[in-house]
Structures are given as C-alpha cells and as structure tokens.
C-alpha cells in the first residue's frame, strides 16, 4: 500500500467532511458571491500543493495571501476556521459511529474485553471482578482553563450537527428522511456562519461554571448510565454479575467557580452562586427523569414495602411515590435559584441524597419483586446510577487558593493580638502555634477586628463552605504548598469559620523543587498526631504538570512527577495513609496531556491503588466528553486503564534505567533553562515570533493570562505560554531540553539502552511517543515564516538555532523508535493531519501577515485585520486541537 493510499480516510468520514464542506461553501457563496468562494478554494488547493514541499508552490500560496485586500481577510479566515470546526465534528462523531469501517475491531471494546480476559486468567473472577470494576474510583475534574475558544452557542450547534450526522449514519441510503436531515444540516451550517465565532466579552467565572453544567446536561448525563450498562453487559457475559445499583466507578468534580488561585474574578459570592446553581441544575435534570418515570410507571402491582412507604391505597403506587419526589425537586429548584441570588427561601429543598435515593430504590425493588425486571432496568436504573454519580450537587466543587493568602490572614490576626510576626517564624514555631490554636476552645477570629479586603475574602469563602452549600465542596486545594504549616493554616481557618470536620485539604506541588521535596514534607505532616486524626488516614496530594514543565522543561518535569509519585506512595504506605494522587494534567503534551490509557499505565506501579483523580481542561472536555457516545468511550478507557494499572501493573524500572533517566533529566533541565532563563534575547524572540502579546485580545476565560503584570516568562501562565508556541507551530515547550539530553546520551553510546527503555518501560515509551506526536504537528517552515515576517534581523539567528534543535530531536526520536518517519505506525493521526493541513497552513501564513500589519502601525488598526487575527487564532486552535 502506498503512503497516499494509507492516508485515505474511511469513505464514510470523507463523505461527511465533503458534505459539510460543500454546505459551508454554498453558504459563503450566498453571502459573498462566487468570486469569494473561488478565492478560498484557490488558496486551499494551493496550500495542498505547497504542503508537498515545493518551494515554488509555497511562493505562489504566499503571493495569494499577501495580495489579499483587507475586505477579503475576514471571510477567508472565517471560511478556513469553520471548515476545521466542521471537520472536527465529523471526525469526532465518526469515531463513535457503528457505521465506520473498523467498528467491529473497535479498539476501546477490544481493550476492555481483552483486559477482562487477562484478569480472569490471573484469577480475578466472578464477584471479585465485579467489585474491582465497581471500586475503580476515578474522579474527573472539569476545569475552565482559557484554551476553549469556541463560544457556547456554537458548541450547541456543533452538537446538533453531530446528532444529525449520526441519524444520517443510522438510515439506509434511500431512506426518505435523508433529504430532510441534509436540509437541517444546511440550516445549521448557515446559522453557524452568520454567528460571530469570537466572544466579544470575556466570560465570567459563573459563565464558565454554566458551560460545565451544559457538558453534564448534554452529554455526561446520558454517557454515565450508558457506560455502566456497557460494563454490566461485559461482566455478565463472563458470569461475573452486574454492578451494584449505586456503583459509581467514575465521578465528576469541577474547578469552575472554585479556582481562585491568581483569579481575582472568583470570589466568595461567585462560589456561593455556583454551588447553588449546581444544585438547581441537578434538581432540574432529576426532575426531568422523575417526570418521565411518572409517565412510564403506570402499573399497579407493587411490593408491600412500597405500599407501606406510600401509606395509602392507590391504583398507581409508583406515580404516587414519585409525586412527592417531584414536589421536593421543584422546591429545590426554587430554593437554589433564590439562594444563588443571595435571597432567602422558605421552600424545603432536597439536601440529603438518601431522600432522593430511597423512593427510587423502593420503586426498583418493587418492580423486580413483581416480575417487571426489564422495566426496572430501564430509565429507573439509569436514574439510580445518576444519583450515585452526580448526587444532588451535580459537580462537587474544588476550592483552590494560593498558600500565601492563608499565611497573610494569620499574619494579620497575630498582629491584631500582638502575638508576633507570623511570616518571620520558622516552620517549627508555626506548627507549634497552629496545633495549639487548633486544640484551643477559644475563638480565633476577633470580633472587633477589621481585616484587609484580601483577608476578608479568604474568610468569606470559608464562611460559604460552612453553609449547607458547602456540602457541595469536595476539597480545599493549596497551590504553592511548601510545608506542613501551609496545610495546618488552612485547617485552622476552616475550623475558625465553622466548616465541617475533616474537609479534605489537598497540597499542590508544582515546581521542580516542590516536586522533589513533596514526600519529605508530607512525611512531616503525616507524623503530626493532630493531623493524622484530622485526615482519618486518607490523603489527596496534587501533582502539578503545567508549572513544572514551564519551570524545568518537559523531560525533567515528567521524571520529577514520576519520582514524586513513587516516593509519596512509599511514604504513605509506611505511615498507613491511603494516598490518592490528583494529576493536574492539561490538554497539551507540555501540560501532561496525551492519550489517557497510555498516560495512566505510564505511572509508577501502585500509584493509583486508591483511585485516580485527574483534571480535564478547556477544549479537551469538548473533544472527549462533548458527545454522549464519545464520552462513553473515553470513560471506558479510564476504567480500563485504572483497572489494568492496579491489577496487572508493569514492572518497576531497574536501577540502570533509573540512573539513565536521572542523567537525562539533569541534562534536560540544564539545557532548557540555559535557553529560557539565561539567553538574553529569548523573551524578546518569543514575544516577537509568536502572538503571545495579541492573545490578550481574545476573551478566552475569566482568569488573567498573567499572574502579575509585566515581568518575563516566569509571570506568564503555562497555558498561554504553550498556546503561543502552538500558534506558530514550533511547539517548543514540549521538546526543548530533550534534544540535548537525548543527543548527549546517544553520543555517549547509549542508543541501545534508550531503545531498550522504550521497548520495556511504559513511562519512557509514553514520553517518546508523546514527543513524536507533538513533533508531527510542528512545522519548521511555518515557524520560519513567522520569524521572517515578525522578528528583528538581529534576533533571527536564535530562531534558526531553535529550528535546528527541533530537527535534531526529530532525528533522535526516529533513532530510538527505529522508524523512517514520524507517525509511521499511527495512520489515524496522519489521516487527521492530512485533512487539516490544507486549512491550517493558510491560517498560519495569514496570521503572520496579520500580526505584521497590526504591529506596523498600532495606532491605526483596521477592524478587518483585528477581527481576522482573532479568528485565525481560533482556527489554528481548532486545527491543532491540543493547544493548551
């Protein structure tokens, strides 16, 4: 098979992409005429020729773009942007469609079924196998990091397109409904085209939370019971028995409305509102289920237990039972809506999940007792499983705050009482003070004290957590935690504000130094008798991926994360602590992103023994969980990976491989920092060659792009740092430092050892494969063009050096993998990129031109240039997908 043949899409997917592309073309033609459509099509065809590597064809493409008049900029950029979005929808929907060519060889189904076979062969069978699946204990934490460019109104239209594409798949080619479906698709594409794809107003933290609720409503609400039904079927086929009715191997939490680290827009008022809005949304969704159940459960035969619960004779016992549930849910909506606005309500809301679960369970068991098991295992079982997964809080909210904010509150209290300078105390003195106060019966917070606005906000947040709304909070995360006193300080302030006992306090270790010191610091904390009683033998520790990578480079960061997990797990076992690691991963490789199954199996053996908690952020939430069928598949991947990691773990690496990784990491961080920190012109080059400064024009998320105004790379958040490099296709954060580290090892004759590590160590294999994936998306020609148009001549040698280093790391990856070309064994990604490149390439070249025009005369920037620049960023993000 030729490479061209190998890159051919599944004919049905190609048909979907062509259909949506044609509908978009007709819409553009209707608005702008045939000339504009021809211009866009000429650019696309020329980009495809240029992609083949012919410089003359590339020059013709650039000529087409450079001579484009301002009034054509926005239509052309929007055309390419929307095609990429439509191609993403088609690809996403097709990946879960039963009509695709490889459906009967579905890799997710094969993965799970093969795992169950291996588990049974190893002796995990019957009831034990069912219990192991039920106890998987996965928690996915949805976060609103600012890489999700697409507006919520457009996401809803994209979801409708996916639904219609699936209907089209389900019908025979001659079905009379097909023309109507295609007419609906045409209408939606037209609606999308005439909708502004760029937010004009930055979303609030409450808007972000509502977006998270929409993911539950539109996708996960259906995906969770579908997942459990699917798992049940696989278990029953092996005689293992179905999962318990309230099994919840996967649950969900959120940072949207709770993550206040560096985000002044997340306040106590916002957190209170989001907690109540989540309860409103949960009540609304359960109300829909209960109303449908009331229509369905019209039968009269019922168990004595259900009749006793109702307390009266009726011909429709199930409807009577559900009537009271419906009334309580309606009251809950009224109550939650009022409380979200800061108003009182005299309604009697459902606050205890058992009050919702009990009548539903009575109905279920009654139906089974009366021989109506198939009815019981329909919508009613789905609803029971939604209660187990989502509860009455829908998404449990994490609250996150930076450690110095708590220390500042204590500093002010100590100053008020004349106790001394808290900030100047050493760690031992702080611990002694904090433990004494935690044991004291005297109130900590003085009645007549007037705290600063910053201190008052910290306390106001904790006061919200002390209300019934606080039942919807899962944990309190401390970013930049460095010592046990950071955890004890939070415990003291929570106690002083009346927050419920034993709210989990989660230290977050982010930088390279903090990761290295994480286990000795936790050992000190777990050695404190007061804290051991507080945590009740269970602890979450969060491992940060973003800041460690930006601080030290990806190679050193992933090894530091691996070692931190190993040492934390060992110390926890020694101290008798049930440790649950919380992975702060992002969508991009530079922030720990990548295929979930591979990433989990790459963790140290035993590190997910007590379950897995992991962030899902930004645009990756939509790609992985935006459609019910796609979400079900991705949730099953998580279940498979955690089961395998716990029950069939890989062997730990030998000392020789560990020593090699230590050397690679040391060389990698030295090389990375020499460029990023010690090269005088690096920051100037970064800001000239990338659209980093212009990213602020996009109303992406509620959180500022910088922790502080001004400053260099250290003040920039990890997300825009990676986003900017991705826009110009150098992808630097993912590989810088690795090039010299691997090169030094290969030059020292260690290539065979590196190949052995790749073959035998899942951690190293995953790292190299992620490097390969990100390098396949990099493009030196495009990066060079940005430089040529935007960077001062005296800085351009630095760009030449970076591109040369990128070529070097590509060569090293191919040597280690023993391949002739990148993605040699990943045809799916090759196909995906081959579809996107003719659309992303023009956007890159146009973006460089637009940046050039804008920077030439910042006093007179045309509206067309400004709008086209913003849309180009959105389009490139759609084309690259894992951007932040």
Tell me what pLDDT residue 711 has: 54
175-185: string of b/e by CB count within 10 Å (b at 16+)? eeeeeebeebb
- CA–CA gap between residue 228 and residue 246 (Å, rounded): 10
- CA–CA gap between residue 177 and residue 872 (Å, rounded): 37
Q: What's the number of CA atoms in the CB half-sphere (13 Å) around residue 14?
A: 8
Domain segments of the chain as ranges: 1-105+152-195+829-884, 654-825
- CA–CA gap between residue 224 and residue 158 (Å, rounded): 21
Tell me what pLDDT residue 693 has: 85
CB 16 within 8 A of CB 165: yes
Paired tokens of 105:
């060889």
DSSP SS3 for 489: helix
145 counts as catalytic:
yes
Paired tokens of 483:
């010592």
- CA–CA gap between residue 865 and residue 74 (Å, rounded): 8
Residues 6+ apart with CB under 8 A from 95: 630, 633
- CA–CA gap between residue 22 and residue 44 (Å, rounded): 14
DSSP state of 259: B
Looking up tokens 């829908």, which residue turns up? 394
- CA–CA gap between residue 857 and residue 867 (Å, rounded): 16
Q: Which member of 16, 94, 145, 430 is catalytic?
A: 145
CB 669 within 8 A of CB 560: no
Tell me what pLDDT residue 833 has: 84
550 counts as catalytic:
yes
**Measuring CA to CA, how many Å separate 163 from each of 157, 168, 170, 753, 817?**
10, 9, 11, 49, 40
DSSP SS3 for 612: strand
Nearest to 317 by CA among 260, 366, 249: 366
Nearest to 32 by CA among 205, 241, 193, 259: 193
Q: What is the 3-class SS of 804-847, one letter each residue?
A: HHHHHHHHHHHHHHCCCCCCCCCHHHHHHHHHHHHHHHHHHHHH
CB 635 within 8 A of CB 252: no
Paired tokens of 431:
């611990």
Nearest to 262 by CA among 521, 85, 479: 479
Tell me what pLDDT residue 870 has: 87
- CA–CA gap between residue 312 and residue 321 (Å, rounded): 10
Tell me what pLDDT residue 779 has: 95
Tell me what pLDDT residue 717 has: 60
Q: Residue 398 forms beta bridges with which residues?
A: 475
Tell me what pLDDT residue 12 has: 87
Q: Residue 475 forms beta bridges with which residues?
A: 398
CB 320 within 8 A of CB 332: no
- CA–CA gap between residue 748 and residue 555 (Å, rounded): 19
- CA–CA gap between residue 725 and residue 676 (Å, rounded): 13
- The alpha carbon of residue 714 and the mean position of all alpha carbons in its chain are separated, in whole angstroms, by 23
The per-residue DSSP string of 520-577 comes to HHHHHHHT-HHHHHHHTTEEEEEEESHHHHHHH-HHHHHHHHHHHHHHHHHHHHHHT-
Residues 6+ apart with CB under 8 A from 809: 735, 738, 739, 742, 771, 775
DSSP state of 379: I
- CA–CA gap between residue 377 and residue 245 (Å, rounded): 10
Tell me what pLDDT residue 203 has: 82
Q: Which member of 94, 406, 550, 624 is catalytic?
A: 550
Q: What is the CA angle 835-839-845, rounded to 5? A: 140
- CA–CA gap between residue 182 and residue 186 (Å, rounded): 6
Q: Residue 613 forms beta bridges with which residues?
A: 139, 582
Residues of the chain with pLDDT under 70: 1-8, 100-106, 145-151, 586-595, 618, 697-719, 858-861, 882-884
Nearest to 368 by CA among 351, 381, 382: 381
DSSP state of 444: S
Tell me what pLDDT residue 150 has: 60
Phi, psi values for residue 538, rounded to 5°: -130, 140
Paired tokens of 112:
């799970």
- CA–CA gap between residue 53 and residue 57 (Å, rounded): 8
């Amino acid at each position: 098979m030729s490479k061209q043949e190998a890159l051919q899409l599944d004919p049905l997917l190609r048909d979907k992409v062509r259909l949506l592309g044609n509908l978009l073309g007709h819409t553009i033609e209707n608005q702008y005429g045939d000339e504009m459509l021809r211009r866009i099509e000429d650019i696309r065809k020329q980009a495809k020729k240029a992609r083949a590597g012919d410089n003359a064809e590339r020059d013709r493409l650039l000529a087409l773009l450079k001579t484009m008049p301002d009034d054509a900029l926005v239509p052309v950029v929007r055309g390419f942007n929307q095609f990429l979005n439509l191609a993403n929808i088609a690809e996403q929907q097709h990946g879960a469609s039963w009509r695709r060519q490889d459906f009967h060889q579905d890799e997710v189904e094969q993965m799970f079924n093969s795992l169950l076979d291996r588990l049974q062969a190893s002796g995990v069978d019957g009831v034990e196998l069912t219990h192991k699946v039920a106890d998987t204990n996965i928690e996915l934490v949805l976060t609103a990091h600012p890489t999700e460019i697409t507006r919520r109104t457009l996401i809803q239209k994209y979801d409708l397109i996916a639904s219609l594409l699936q209907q089209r798949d389900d019908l025979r080619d001659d079905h009379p409904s097909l023309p109507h479906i295609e007419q609906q698709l045409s209408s939606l594409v037209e609606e999308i085209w005439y909708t502004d794809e760029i937010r004009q107003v930055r979303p609030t933290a409450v808007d972000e939370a509502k977006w998270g609720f929409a993911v539950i409503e539109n996708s996960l609400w259906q995906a969770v019971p579908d997942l459990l039904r699917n798992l049940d079927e696989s278990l029953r086929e092996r005689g293992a028995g179905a999962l318990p009715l309230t099994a919840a191997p996967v649950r969900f939490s959120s940072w949207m409305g709770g993550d206040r680290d560096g985000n002044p827009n997340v306040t106590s008022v916002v957190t209170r509102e989001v907690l109540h809005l989540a309860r409103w949304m949960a009540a609304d969704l359960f109300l829909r289920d209960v109303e449908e159940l009331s229509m369905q459960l019209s039968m009269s035969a019922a168990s004595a237990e259900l009749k006793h619960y109702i307390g009266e004779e009726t011909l429709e016992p199930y409807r009577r039972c559900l009537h009271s549930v419906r009334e309580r849910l309606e009251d809950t909506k009224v109550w939650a809506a009022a409380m979200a606005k800061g108003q009182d309500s005299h309604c009697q809301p459902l606050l205890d999940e058992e009050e919702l679960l009990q009548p539903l369970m009575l109905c279920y068991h009654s139906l089974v007792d009366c021989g109506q098991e198939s009815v019981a295992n329909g919508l009613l079982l789905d609803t029971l499983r939604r209660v187990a997964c989502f509860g009455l809080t829908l998404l449990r909210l994490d609250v996150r705050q930076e450690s110095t904010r708590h220390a500042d509150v204590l500093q002010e209290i100590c100053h008020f009482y004349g106790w001394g300078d808290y900030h100047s105390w050493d760690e031992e003195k702080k611990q002694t003070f904090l433990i004494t106060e935690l044991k004291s019966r005297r109130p900590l917070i003085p009645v007549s004290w007037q705290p600063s606005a910053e201190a008052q906000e910290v306390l106001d947040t904790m006061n919200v957590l002390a209300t019934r709304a606080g039942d919807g909070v899962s944990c309190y995360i401390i970013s930049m935690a460095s010592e046990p006193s950071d955890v004890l300080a939070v415990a003291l302030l929570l106690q002083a504000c009346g927050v419920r006992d034993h709210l989990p306090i989660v230290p977050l270790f982010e930088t390279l130094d903090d990761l290295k010191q994480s286990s000795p610091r936790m050992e000190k904390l777990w050695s404190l008798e007061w804290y051991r009683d507080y945590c009740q033998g269970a602890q979450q520790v969060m491992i940060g991926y973003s800041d460690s990578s930006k601080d030290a480079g990806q190679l050193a960061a992933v090894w530091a994360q691996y070692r931190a997990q190993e040492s934390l797990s060992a110390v926890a076992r020694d101290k008798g602590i049930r440790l649950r690691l919380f992975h702060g991963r992002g969508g991009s490789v530079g922030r720990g992103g990548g295929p979930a199954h591979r990433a989990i199996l790459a963790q140290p053996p035993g590190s997910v023994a007590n379950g897995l908690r992991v962030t899902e952020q930004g645009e990756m939430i939509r790609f992985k969980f935006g459609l019910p069928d796609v979400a079900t598949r991705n949730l099953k991947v998580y279940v498979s990976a955690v089961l395998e990691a716990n029950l069939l773990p890989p062997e730990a690496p030998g000392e020789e491989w560990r020593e090699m990784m230590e050397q690679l990491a040391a060389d990698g961080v030295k090389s990375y920092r020499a460029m990023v920190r010690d090269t005088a012109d690096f920051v100037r080059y970064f800001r000239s060659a990338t659209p980093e400064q212009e990213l602020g024009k996009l109303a992406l998320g509620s959180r500022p792009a910088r922790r502080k105004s001004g400053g260099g790379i250290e003040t920039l958040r990890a997300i825009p740092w990676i986003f900017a490099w991705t826009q110009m296709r150098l992808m630097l954060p993912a590989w810088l430092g690795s090039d010299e580290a691997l090169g030094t090892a290969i030059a020292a004759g260690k290539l065979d050892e590196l190949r052995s590590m790749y073959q035998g160590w899942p951690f190293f294999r995953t790292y190299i494969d992620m490097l390969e994936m990100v390098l396949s998306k990099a493009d030196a020609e495009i990066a060079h063009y940005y430089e040529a148009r935007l960077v001062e001549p005296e800085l351009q040698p630095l760009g030449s050096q970076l591109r040369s280093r990128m070529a070097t790391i590509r060569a090293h990856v191919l040597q280690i993998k023993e391949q002739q070309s990148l993605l040699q064994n990943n045809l799916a990604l090759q196909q995906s990129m081959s579809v996107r490149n003719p659309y992303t390439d023009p956007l890159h070249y146009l973006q460089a031109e637009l940046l050039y025009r804008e920077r030439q005369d910042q006093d007179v920037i045309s509206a067309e240039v400004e709008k086209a620049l913003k849309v180009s960023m959105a389009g490139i993000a759609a084309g690259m997908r894992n951007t932040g």
